[in-house]
Structure 1
Amino acid sequence: MPIAVDACAAQHQGDRKEQQDRVAILPHVRRKGIALAVVADGMGGHTGGALAAEQVLHTARTNLEHFAPVEESARWLLENSMREAHTMIKASRFMNEKDPHSTAVMLLLQPGLASWGYCGDSRLYHYRGRQLLTRTVDHSFVEHLVATGKITPAQALTHPNRNVLMTSLGGQDEPRFSFAETADLRAGDSFMLCSDGIWAYFDEAEMGELLAGNSARTACEKIIDLARQRAAGAGDNLSLAVIRLVEVEVPKARPPAGFVPRGGA
């Protein structure tokens, strides 16, 4: 049975004075079946973070418009989008005297293939039904502590340095990128990209329930509502993009008008 895409991007300012996140699901302008989802979480004082995140989105959109899948790899698109954004954000320091940075997570969907890359602590989750298949591992200080066995995942949730990043776009050092992809795509799969203003309030099992049991739009609404409730007036910007793969029933062909089936011999 054919598979269709049910997708939605959403965000909320939370309790911050400014929305410094950016999120979008961008279709390829010439190639059917190709789309790029992007979440960027900007940092760097008033307007600086928003400008950095906007640069990530702008660069991703421009590179997608010129992406030729026959000649270029998904990783080429993802890495160049983030690397070019890093260069532009870093250059903007000299123009606006701010300290802009941004995370980035991107998912490129092509027929039969999903590829993603990221820098920082904005995440991608891949579920099959309610089962988590994979999630990105944050480029953060606490994820490093978890990976080296110094703290548990539960301790990471309340660690005082949980927001300290090891890398980001726009910093003085060269950014660190991570990439992965899968060709094992099925109806019932769902992907979620989100900023830390979302994932900080959910465990993986609950997130799977919300994604599997709702349309993309309804899942976004419920996730934002729950995150806002749990933030209790102290919430960060919230941004997410949900992409669900769903079966589409093909209508049976109707016989032409006036057609009368003949009996067997």
Structure 2
Amino acid sequence: MQFSVYQESLIGGRKINQDRMGYSFTRDALLLLLCDGMGGHLRGEMAATIAMQTIATLFQQQATPYVKKPERFLEDAFLAAHREIHRYRAINNLPETPRTTIVGCLVQHNTAIWAHCGDSRLYWMRNGQILARTRDHSRLETLIAQGKVDPSERATHPDRNKLFNCIGAPNLPIVEISRRASLMAGDILLLCSDGLWSVLPDHVLAQRFAGNTVMRAVPDLLKSAVGIAGKNSDNATALAVMWQGSKELEDITSISTHTLPVGAVSTTIQAPQDNIAQHAAEDDLFNDDEIEKAIEEIRGAIQKSSQITSRNSN
């Protein structure tokens, strides 16, 4: 695989940044993740962190060197993250469970599959055009889909911030999974939080990537969004990949995964904290030996990735 990648997060006008983003890859699989901790609930940043770590751990274990059942992996991993957040609440005796929105994408064999809960978005773009994007799990998007609200009201409707789906809520999340998308050289995959897409229209996002590398487009978009929103700006976060870069836009930041040793995983997602147990498994909990092994493998992968990963300002 070959791709260019860039990720950045701006705190905006908030006191803390509750957004998290990162990516992990083997020789044959690439995982992209972005979470937006929900500020209306306690410790949203912890929900986002736990979700990232849990899913990255599962990818580390199952991408050997690619994930055999990608759709099943995304659903199981999201549900495992949900369980880990509830475990964190129980261990710390919190009055409520932290919550986060999430969007993730798995790319392997030139095919992308993504999943999301909430209103963190993924855009699939080609030549300045949006081929697909996730639909927010919000009251407003439901009304638009039912024809009860005009799409032009997205920026002003009173229900625009009301979500009915996330990770960490009392009920199990609804994990919406996309169809498989065949990628072409030059295609863009953009994962972003609502601090970006709620300020800049879709067509602006697409236009900024046309003719630009992800390393130029992402910082430009984030600065524009925070600048327009002003002192009340939300956290704004974006993670973008240009698949196999086109010859016209090829640069020295391109990552070629054939340089990875067989069995290695590179990642920008921080290792789990000691007090966050990585118990998630497909059908049951990991034992202590498996937890420690997974944590050590992730720490080793982070060290190996330091020479080839792009800037991470998170």
Q: TM-score, normalised by structure 2?
A: 0.74
Partner of 1:58: 53
Partner of 1:259: none
Describe the SS at the equivalent of 1:218.
Answer: helix
Describe the SS at the equivalent of 2:189.
Answer: strand
Partner of 1:142: 140
**Is 1:42 equivalent to 2:37 in the alignment?**
yes
Q: 1:1-265 alignment to 2 at 5 Å?
A: 4-28=2-26, 32-44=27-39, 48-67=43-62, 68=64, 72-94=68-90, 95-97=92-94, 98-245=96-243, 246-248=245-247
The amino acid that maps onto 1:48 is R
Q: Can you list the C-alpha shifts for 1:149-170, whole angstroms capped at 9, x where unaligned?
A: 1111111221122111111111
The alpha-carbon distance between structure 1 residues 70 and 42, as it changes in their structure 2 partners (threshold 3 A), is closer
Richer in strand (by share): 1
> 1:181: Cα distance to partner?
3.5
The amino acid that maps onto 1:74 is P
Contact 2:20 2:36 in 1 (8 A): yes
> 1:115: Cα distance to partner?
0.8
CA–CA distance in structure 1, aligned partners of residues 136 and 52 of structure 2: 20
Contact 2:67 2:73 in 1 (8 A): no
The alpha-carbon distance between structure 1 residues 60 and 205, as it changes in their structure 2 partners (threshold 3 A), is same
Describe the SS at the equivalent of 1:5.
Answer: strand
Contact 2:42 2:97 in 1 (8 A): no
Partner of 1:252: none
Identity of aligned residues (%): 34
> 1:214: Cα distance to partner?
1.3
My pick for the range that moved more, 52-61 or 155-164, is: 155-164
Describe the SS at the equivalent of 1:125.
Answer: strand
The answer for unaligned runs of 5 or more in structure 1 is 250-265
Contact 1:21 1:40 in 2 (8 A): yes
Describe the SS at the equivalent of 2:22.
Answer: strand
> 1:93: Cα distance to partner?
2.5
The amino acid that maps onto 1:112 is N
CA–CA distance in structure 2, aligned partners of residues 76 and 142 of structure 1: 29
CA–CA distance in structure 2, aligned partners of residues 202 and 44 of structure 1: 21
> 1:79: Cα distance to partner?
1.0
Indicate the structure (1 or 2) with the bigger Cα radius of gyration.
Answer: 1
The alpha-carbon distance between structure 1 residues 180 and 43, as it changes in their structure 2 partners (threshold 3 A), is same
Contact 1:128 1:188 in 2 (8 A): yes
Describe the SS at the equivalent of 1:232.
Answer: helix
> 1:42: Cα distance to partner?
0.6
> 1:91: Cα distance to partner?
2.5
The amino acid that maps onto 2:145 is A
CA–CA distance in structure 1, aligned partners of residues 232 and 183 of structure 2: 38
> 1:14: Cα distance to partner?
1.0
Partner of 2:308: none
Contact 2:13 2:230 in 1 (8 A): no
CA–CA distance in structure 2, aligned partners of residues 161 and 180 of structure 1: 25
Q: TM-score, normalised by structure 1?
A: 0.87
CA–CA distance in structure 1, aligned partners of residues 144 and 181 of structure 2: 29
The answer for unaligned runs of 5 or more in structure 2 is 249-314
Query: What is the aligned residue count?
Result: 245
Describe the SS at the equivalent of 1:132.
Answer: strand
Partner of 1:254: none
Contact 1:190 1:212 in 2 (8 A): no
Contact 2:66 2:108 in 1 (8 A): no
Aligned-pair Cα RMSD in Å: 2.0
> 1:183: Cα distance to partner?
4.3
